[in-house]
Every structure is written in structure tokens, then in C-alpha cells.
Amino acid sequence: MSTVQGRLRIAVQKSGRLADRSLDLIRDAGLKWVKGHNDLLYRVENYPIDLLRVRDDDIPTFVADGVCDLGIVGENVLEEGRNGGANASVVMPLGFGRCTLKIATPPTLAYDGPASLDGLRIATSYPKILRRFLDERGVKAEIVVMRGAVEVAPRLKLAAAICDLVSTGATLEANGLGAKDTVLESQAVLIQSPVAPEPGLQHLLDSIIERMSGVVSSQGAKYVMLNAPRASLDQITAILPGAGSPTVMPLMGRDDAVAVHAVCQEAVFWETLEKLKAAGASAILVLPIEKMM
Ligand code: PRT
Ligand code: ZN
């Protein structure tokens, strides 16, 4: 049972790359709070829920131990924090905070796959993930743990290569390093505690998860409405990106044309509209979707 009587807790990063997007998601799921004196805890006003604002590294443990019922954290941090005990489970990927944990090397190191790292020193903040990657490939290398500025390790001769997170690649480039093998693809995920909440809070927990799922799946989704000649209906629905089965309706006084309404799960670009028009579609409207369930 959760440690907090009568309230759920959600752990979010206090400040950093995931902080704003995590709060946006929670707000979009319908939770409201005012920032009070307590910087560590935001009290949600319209539900018995508290937001615990902590360092991202602490989130997997808090959720695994049942101190928090849910948490939002990068897969990289979750994987690195795994231990033999009960772990938090991933509810769903959230589509932000994307990055890749990569091996990167200076041009002086001849790299031809992970075997090239045999007998070398590699600097990283992710020793467990890296060790597993190396073990799976039978590579024997020494791991130097650095908490930050991993990219300077080769220049300082602390290590021959590094294993670090990359998003744009600008940091590697600025330090004269080249990205090589991918160790882990990561994004922010919603995680859930193996410890059940008080029975009276289970329904609220399920509902918050379902709302967050609705927010995530509506991100980038669009509602498209258009008129189409019956003769090109198949061609037009095939152009609509990720539309599933669109709704097709008659148009008053027109036997040769129909109205098509579709939820498109993928981005709808100008190019798509141009293709639809070329296929005979008219009166094309693309609308944002706020909520989806
Ligand atoms: O204080 P706290 O411990 O909570 O935060 P933190 O400093 O540990 O983490 P923070 O806020 O930097 O990142 C939080 C999470 O964002 C990470 O755990 C990842 O899941 C995710 N994320 C996404 C990234 C990046 N992109 C990223 N680019 N985390 C770090 N970086 C760093 C990387 O380590 C390197 O130094 O950015 C640099 C590379 O960026 P590019 O764009 O130059 O390639
Ligand atoms: Zn951290």
C-alpha cells in the first residue's frame, strides 16, 4: 500500500530537460495546482494527488518503493537504476525527451564495431547499461564513471572512448568526437509502482493513466474533413496518413461525391494536402484534436 494516506503521488523531475514537458502532460490530463511555498511538493487542487518534484535519478527508486505511485523519467535513467529488487513498470512511452546513448570516439581511434573497444577505457555516466552492452558482445573494457562532462574524457586522456547521451550531436562535434554504435534509444516514459495504492485510490490512478494515454495519442493527431468524388475515394483515403477507417457520408444533392472525416495519427503536411487536391478532394479542413479516449 502507498505510504501517503488518502493521496496519490506522481514523481516528476524538478528542473531539467524533462521538467516542463512532464508538468504539461499532467496539466493536459486535467490536474490543477498552484505553486506554493513548498518547492518539493505541488498539491493538486482538484484531485487527491501530490506532485513530488525531485532529481530524475531518484524517480525510479521512489516509484519502485511505493513512495510515489507514478513517475515520469527517461528510459536511460530507468534502465541504469534497475536492480535485483521489485522495479517500477513502464506504462507507456511519452514521445518527448528523445535521445540516444551512443559510443563515441576521437578520430585517432580506429573503430570498427564494439570489438575495437577491447582492452580500452570508456568514460560514461551509465556504467550498468554500458557493461551489459559490452558483456553481450564479449568485449572486455574498463569503465570509468563520470557524472558529467563525459565528452572531455578523451581529450584529458581519461578514456579512449565515451558512451554518452546524444540528441542533436552538437556536443560530440564540438569535442571532436564521432558517434558510433547505439547502446540505447531513450525517451521519457510513464512508470508505475509495483506497490498498489490504497483501494479507494485505484480508480483515480487508472483514470489518470487513461487520460495521459489520451493526451499522448492525440499529440500530433489531426482531424481531417474533405469532400471527395466517389470515383477517387479509395485513392484519397490511401493518401490520408495513419487514418484507419475514415467515416464516409453522403453530400446533399450530390450522387457523385461524398464527405470524408478521418482522424490522422501522423502529421498532415502541406504536401499531403496537395496530393489530396490533385486526387480530386475539395473543401479540405485540418483540425487539431484536443482530447482522445
Ligand atoms: O538534475 P537532474 O539529475 O534531475 O537532471 P540531469 O542533469 O541528470 O538530467 P537532464 O535534465 O540533463 O536530462 C534529463 C533527461 O533528458 C535525460 O535523462 C534523458 O532522458 C533526456 N535527454 C534528452 C537528455 C538529452 N536529450 C541530452 N542531450 N539528457 C542529456 N543530454 C545531454 C548529454 O548528456 C550531452 O551532454 O546533452 C548533451 C548532448 O546533447 P546534444 O544535443 O549536443 O547532442
Ligand atoms: Zn539526473
Give me the numbers of helices (H) and strands (E) for the chain, helices first please: 8, 15
pLDDT at 3: 55
- Whether the pLDDT of residue 4 is over 80: the answer is no
Cα(3)–Cα(77) distance, integer angstroms: 23
Amino acid at 9: R
pLDDT at 85: 76
Position of cell 467515416?
247
C-alpha 99 to ligand 1 mean position (Å): 8
Ligand nearest to the CA of 54: 1
Q: Work out the mean pLDDT of the chain and round it to a whole number.
A: 94
Which amino acids bring their CB within 6 angstroms of ligand 1? 13, 16-18, 55-57, 74, 76-77, 97, 99, 164-171, 186
Q: CA angle, corner 44, sides to 57 and 27, nearest 5?
A: 75
Percentage of the chain exceeding pLDDT 70? 99
Question: Could you report the per-residue pLDDT of 255-283, keeping only the tens digit for each?
Answer: 999 999 999 988 788 999 999 999 999 99
Per-residue pLDDT, averaged over 105-111, amounts to 97
Ligand nearest to the CA of 77: 1
Per-residue pLDDT, averaged over 63-82, amounts to 96
Please identify, by atom number, the ligand 1 atom nearest to the C-alpha of residue 150. Answer: 36
Q: Which of 145, 149, 200, 203 minimizes the C-alpha distance to 171?
A: 149
Position of cell 522495479?
87
Question: Could you report the per-residue pLDDT of 208-267, keeping only the tens digit for each?
Answer: 999 999 999 888 889 999 999 999 999 999 999 877 789 999 999 999 999 999 999 887
pLDDT at 38: 77
Question: Could you report the per-residue pLDDT of 131-156, keeping only the tens digit for each?
Answer: 999 999 999 999 999 999 999 999 99
Alpha helices in the chain (DSSP H): 19-28, 59-64, 75-81, 127-136, 170-174, 202-218, 233-239, 270-278
Helix (H, G, I), strand (E, B) or coil at 183: strand
pLDDT at 137: 97
C-alpha 258 to ligand 2 mean position (Å): 54
C-alpha 247 to ligand 2 mean position (Å): 47
Question: Could you report the per-residue pLDDT of 126-137, keeping only the tens digit for each?
Answer: 999 999 999 999
Please identify, by atom number, the ligand 1 atom nearest to the C-alpha of residue 171. Answer: 43
C-alpha 13 to ligand 2 mean position (Å): 9
Cα(150)–Cα(163) distance, integer angstroms: 8
Please identify, by atom number, the ligand 1 atom nearest to the C-alpha of residue 16. Answer: 11
**Could you tell me the domains of the chain?**
8-96+188-218 (3.40.190.10), 99-186 (3.40.190.10), 222-288 (3.30.70.120)
Ligand nearest to the CA of 167: 1
Q: What is the DSSP letter of 56?
A: G
Q: How many CB atoms are located within 10 Å of the residue 104 CB?
A: 26
pLDDT at 265: 83
Per-residue pLDDT, averaged over 24-42, amounts to 91
pLDDT at 293: 84
Question: Could you report the per-residue pLDDT of 174-198, keeping only the tens digit for each?
Answer: 999 999 999 999 999 999 999 999 9
C-alpha 20 to ligand 1 mean position (Å): 14
